[in-house]
Each structure stands twice: as structure tokens, then as C-alpha cells.
Amino acid sequence: MLLIECPFCGPRDQTEFTYGGDATVARPSDPAALDDEAWSAYLNLRTNPAGEHDELWQHSLGCRRWIGVRRNTLTHQILSTWPPAPPKTA
Ligand SMILES: [Zn+2]
């Protein structure tokens, strides 16, 4: 069992959270300018790091907010959590 520190609710069981993917992938600033290959790469290509990795998780059975989680993918140890940054405006 993983214990994840929600920045809004405190420590909670992993079963209250839903994994949301890689937190390091930046959305293209102008998606319409991408060709199919670049768009497909944005949607599908991910690294598979062995070690520390930043991920998005949603506290789906709690406050329902999205949070950032730094997790070691080898040990599953949760190293830190943080509230997500506000969306960037272009
Ligand atoms: Zn929460």
C-alpha cells in the first residue's frame, strides 16, 4: 500500500487516487501547427524511467483535485507531492 500526501487533505491511501500520467509532458503551444507524426508523438510517446519520476494523480475519492507526485518507479516510494501549477496562458 502506498500512502500519498495530498497537499489539500493530508496523507491518504493510494486507493483514493487515480494515476493521471506523466507530469513532464508539456502540451504543444500550437497543436494545430503539428503534423500527424508530431501530434502522435505528443499523445503516445513516453519515457519509461527507472527511478524518480514526476507524475500526475487525481485524488478522485477525496477532494478530486489533481496533484503532482514524485515517485520512485523502482521502489514505488513517494518522495514528494505538490499542488499543480496554474495553467500557463499564451
Ligand atoms: Zn485531496
Q: Does residue 51 come out as left (phi exceeding 0), alpha (psi in the -120 to 50 range) or beta?
A: left
Residue 88 lies in a domain: no
pLDDT value of position 89: 52
Along the 90 residues of the chain, how does pLDDT read in single tens digits? Answer: 889 999 999 999 999 999 999 998 888 999 999 999 999 999 999 988 999 999 999 999 999 999 999 999 999 999 999 998 765 554
pLDDT value of position 73: 95
Confidence (pTM): 0.83
Residue 62 lies in a domain: yes
Residue 78 lies in a domain: yes
pLDDT value of position 88: 55
| Cα 9 from Cα 53, distance rounded (Å) | 22
CA of 3 to the centre of ligand 1 (A): 12
CA of 24 to the centre of ligand 1 (A): 21
- For residue 56, the enclosing domain spans 1-24+51-83
CATH number at residue 65: 3.30.2270.10
Residue 33 lies in a domain: no
pLDDT value of position 85: 72
Ion ligand 1 — residues with CB under 5 Å? 6, 8-9, 59, 62-63
CA of 69 to the centre of ligand 1 (A): 12
* Integer angstrom CA distances of residue 49 from 54, 74, 90: 10, 9, 30
Q: How many domains does the chain have?
A: 1
